[in-house]
Amino acid sequence: MLVKKLKIAIQKSGRLYDDSVKLLKDCGIDLKNGVNKLKTESDNFPMEIYFLRDDDIPQYVEDAVADIGIVGENVLYENKKKVDIVEHLGFGKCRLAVAVGRSEQYDGVGYLQGKKIATTYPNLVRDFLKKNKVEADIHEISGSVEIAPGIGLADAIVDLVSSGSTLFMNGLKEVEPVLQSQAVLIRNKDLDPALQIILDKFLFRIRAVKKARNTKYILLNAPNDKLQVIIGMLPGMKSPTVLPLAEPGWSSVHSVLNENDFWDIIEKLKGAGAQGILVVPIEKMII
């Protein structure tokens, strides 16, 4: 019997490649190391992996050449392809922003009225200008957007920013956010039901991995007379586990913590008398 395989498109090389491959690996999906790096498959999961330019991924998924894909929201919203977003993946975070010359007096979006804006994201810029009721000339270029103001091609640019160092080196400053973006999992709108079952399995694993990445397992020792206070500080999946220590009057407390609250809670626990605090990563989390 021919087993159907779910075809996923991921970036061939670039900023999303490592995290996309790592996500598959953390989901327990092993990839065969093909010599031909256009396509490979998994040994232990019904999945075929296509390596493509990120800009092409939404089109391939719309056309069902691939069933699903991993791509930045920036590329997805710019391309305006008809696909479903099934999951935000929490990596590839960046923002699309307006930048102008460092000595410019920027006093709000009105500054852009009648100006020339260079970008590789003409659709997103058009939407942004329309929303803000500003009229400006959009110059679509295919790369090195940050040099456009310096060579007199534009007054402002709209480009992806993470640290801002590229802007700084080109005498620019970031002045206005246009879009916050991260990698998302997209799906063809008419996915075959047999493939949807595979996708559901994949999604179940992705969610377990995502939860685990944001959570830590914590173990600590507490004197019994402080137990109630310490337990009150810990969230736990249901409630913390408490086990007696060999030493009378002491207990071991186990729980899980959200990465974001982590340092706050640790300080409070120490203050309340907790000792020997251990924090360990969690690989998968199913609740």
Note the residues at the interface with ligand ATP (CB under 6 A): 11, 14-16, 53-55, 72, 74-75, 92, 94, 160, 162, 181
Binding site for Mg ion (CB under 5 A): 54-55
Q: Whole-angstrom Cα distance, residue 110 to residue 101?
A: 16
Q: Whole-angstrom Cα distance, residue 120 to residue 123?
A: 9
Q: Decide whether 15 or 207 has the Cβ nearer to ligand ATP.
A: 15
For 25, the enclosing helix (H) or strand (E) is helix 17-26
| Rg of the Cα atoms in the chain | 25
Which tokens is 194 given?
Answer: 């047999």
Min dist. Cβ of residue 91 to Mg ion (A):
16
Q: Decide whether 54 or 78 has the Cβ nearer to Mg ion.
A: 54
Q: Whole-angstrom Cα distance, residue 9 to residue 185?
A: 10
Q: Decide whether 146 or 155 has the Cβ nearer to Mg ion.
A: 146
- Residue 181 binds what, of ligand ATP, Mg ion, none (CB under 5 to 8 Å, by partner type)? ligand ATP
**What is the 8-class DSSP label of residue 3?**
P
Give the helix ranges, DSSP H, for 27-154. Answer: 57-62, 73-79, 122-131
Min dist. Cβ of residue 16 to ligand ATP (A):
5
Shortest-Cβ-distance residue relative to Mg ion? 55
Min dist. Cβ of residue 219 to ligand ATP (A):
36
Indicate the residue type of 169: M
Which tokens is 180 given?
Answer: 């916050």
- Residue 170 binds what, of Mg ion, ligand ATP, none (CB under 5 to 8 Å, by partner type)? none
Shortest-Cβ-distance residue relative to ligand ATP? 72
Q: Decide whether 144 or 162 has the Cβ nearer to ligand ATP.
A: 162
